[in-house]
Structure 1
Amino acid sequence: MTTTTATTEKKSVTTTERSATAILDRPAESVPLRRPGDRRKILVGFDLGTNASCILAGPAEGKDTTVSKIIPTVVGYAREGLVDGIIANNATTLIGEEALNHRLQMKMIAPLEDGIIAQVEPARDFIRRVRAVIDPTNSAEIRAVIGVPANAGQPAREDIRNCAAGVFDRVLLIPEPFLAALGFRDESRLGQPNYVDPVTNSLFIDIGGGTSDLCLIQGYFPTADDQISLAFAGDAVDKLIEDDLQRTYPNNGLSRATIRSIKEEHSYVGAIRKPIDVKVLIGGKSHTLELGDTIGRACNRLLEKIYPALTTLISRASSDSVAQLLQNIVITGGGSRIRGLDTVIQQKLADDGFEAPKVKLAGPEYKRFVAVGALKAARSAREDQWQHLLA
């Protein structure tokens, strides 16, 4: 098993990855006609997330999307001594919802932690089965643009390449907030006087399960100084709620999945809201727990982590760009569903003297934006930008 950790240190960016600047406004590459015997090419936008992954795929020829799926990032391995046929086809390895549906019969492993690969073999098994979803015949050449956390270190990038080797044919790794901006971009509105292109000048806050990634997007491929990645996000909030529940209601027996569901339904930031009464089953019996304080403290801790990183990035923007930048701060990822996060951040910026800030939420399609941006990038990538992967 290989374990890597995220880093916010400056890291060198490969020539291939730096050249992704050209992806921004260049039209999709023209694809030569396939000759007899050539393998068909499938392009993939892949958001490999800590808790859930999104894949979009389509043929290199044209702009059709033939695969669009959100898959829980979990791998299940069958336990010893299972009754024959209890799992379809006596499968020994499953991923996503299929694995979760057999959680009692399988050992469940989350291959990612804090946004990066923590367990290499389960991660490879996950990616291998994702490929089977994209190309069931295993006959196509697969080229995937994969999102990585902002400022992911070289070891984390190498783990992705190693897990994808022999599964995908070529890859391109691009920071997730940049891809989210590309996915959020509405090409049909470019040129309209009131539309601010998020790829031209914006600041994206992408709050996932493992990391909160903040990135200045200003029309070029972001450098290390343009990005901050925090290993504090949805999973860390879950852990704070779990620990607080254990102190308040000892031996409650609530699973992390149940706690996550409670958080997703009731999360908020700002002044403490009470009461928030939540009905749960403990030991098979119904109980009502008051969780206003618990949920509020945990979510406000996330806000306390994000806000200083946000103001740091604003301070790094040029004086010529900062006025428009403050009008285009976008929150995406699962954390964007926390009630009041946009308005509280906007008010804090105003209270701290920032001129007319405007913070918006990416909206209900937040789960797809990174993958949408990745597929756009794949369709526009030059031949020399793709990195070959050898099995």
Structure 2
Amino acid sequence: MGETVYLGIDLGTSRTSVTSSTGVRTTVWSYVGYPEDHVARKMLGGRDVIYGEEAVENRLSVKLVRPLAAGVIDTQGAQADLNKKAVKDLIEHVISLAQVPAGNTIYAVIGAPAEASVDSKAEILDAASNFVDSLIVCSEPFAVAYGLDFLRDTLVIDIGAGTTDLCRVHGTMPKAEDQRTHNVAGDAIDHTLAERIRQKHPEAQFSIHAIRQFKERHASVTRNMDVAEVTMTVAGKPQQFDITQEMYDACYTIVPPTVA
């Protein structure tokens, strides 16, 4: 009889991480790509699906899906069925990265936004149920507090890409009134920063992926932040720009809804 392997999965808007009781820890970008046609499939070595950074790099050749763009699985929009398929494929992929030997029993915990609805949690359970033997979905910020043994007098603020989640921990399992979620998070900061840069430097050329890299390198909500100097192209030539004020303004938008 095989051993029992425990997995913790952070199914994030931007990145998905898995850690196992066997010591494996890895992270992939939360993107799934499906070849547009037979030419794209041939270019990708005959594969029907690719993941993460590779999917983004080949976005012109694939139908690129970011199934958790709003922090939960979008099951209402035009791409509802595709999102459900992409989440299942992404979960199967990250579980395969955990390198669980065949025949072992898999117990998994998947984190969800603090105020995720019952339907949202049910969608996650449905997406993962075929790949594990037992599964629970729990509040992401509470999982952080529990893992760090911060079980009382603690406020966890989990800033993700799609949502910012807050959880008050006071020695018991958190109730609904102990948890809050709002949608001003990493993606919103990216779009605000991009708009501020367009207003200040209309000649600069950049992608949203470049904006995300600028943010991850220079993000701050202090007036005494280091200078945020980045390289963008102008008429095809690289040029240095100081975006310190734009970076501060964009990042600070997360503060009011978090402290309200």
Fold similarity call, TM over 0.5: yes
Distance 1:134 1:243, change over 3 A: same
Name the counterpart of 2:183. 231
Q: Distance in 2 between matches of 1:120 and 1:277?
A: 40
Contact 2:17/2:26, CA 8 A, preserved across alignment? yes
Once the two structures are superposed, the pairs formed by residues 271-350 of structure 1 within 5 Å of their partners are: 271=223, 276-308=228-260
Name the counterpart of 2:65. 109
Once the two structures are superposed, the pairs formed by residues 117-266 of structure 1 within 5 Å of their partners are: 117-118=73-74, 119-135=83-99, 139-185=103-149, 198-250=150-202, 252-266=204-218
SS at match of 1:268: coil
How far did residue 283 of structure 1 move? 4.7
Q: Distance in 1 between matches of 2:203 and 2:182?
A: 31
Q: Deviations over 1:200-226 (max 9, x none)?
A: 321111111111111111221100111
Q: Distance in 1 between matches of 2:13 and 2:40?
A: 31
Once the two structures are superposed, the pairs formed by residues 337-376 of structure 1 within 5 Å of their partners are: none
| AA partner of residue 10 (structure 2) | D
How far did residue 44 of structure 1 move? 0.7
Number of residue pairs matched by the alignment: 252
How far did residue 105 of structure 1 move? 3.3
Name the counterpart of 1:87. 44
Q: Distance in 2 between matches of 1:274 and 1:225?
A: 38
Q: Distance in 2 between matches of 1:258 and 1:162?
A: 34
Distance 1:159 1:299, change over 3 A: same
| AA partner of residue 67 (structure 1) | V
SS at match of 1:294: helix
Contact 1:254/1:282, CA 8 A, preserved across alignment? no
Q: Distance in 2 between matches of 1:274 and 1:43?
A: 41
Contact 2:204/2:232, CA 8 A, preserved across alignment? no
Q: Which has the larger radius of gyration?
A: 1
SS at match of 2:215: helix
| AA partner of residue 261 (structure 1) | Q
Unaligned runs of 5+ in 1: 1-33, 59-64, 186-197, 309-391
TM-score of the aligned structures, taking structure 2 as reference length: 0.87
Q: Deviations over 1:71-90 (max 9, x none)?
A: 111111123243675324x2
How far did residue 130 of structure 1 move? 1.9
SS at match of 2:255: helix
Q: Deviations over 1:54-112 (max 9, x none)?
A: 11113xxxxxx242111111111123243675324x21201123434434433321110
Q: Deviations over 1:122-178 (max 9, x none)?
A: 111111222222346654332211111112111111110121132222211111111
| AA partner of residue 131 (structure 2) | V
Q: Distance in 1 between matches of 2:24 and 2:225?
A: 41
Q: Whose strand fraction is larger, Structure 1's or Structure 2's?
A: 2
Contact 1:274/1:293, CA 8 A, preserved across alignment? no
Higher relative contact order (CA 8 A, sep 6+): 1
RMSD: 2.3
Distance 1:84 1:50, change over 3 A: closer
Find out whether 1:96 has 2:52 as its counterpart. yes
SS at match of 2:39: coil
How far did residue 272 of structure 1 move? 7.6
TM-score of the aligned structures, taking structure 1 as reference length: 0.59
Identity value in percent = 29
Name the counterpart of 2:27. 70
- Which stretch has the larger CA shift, 162-171 or 95-104? 95-104
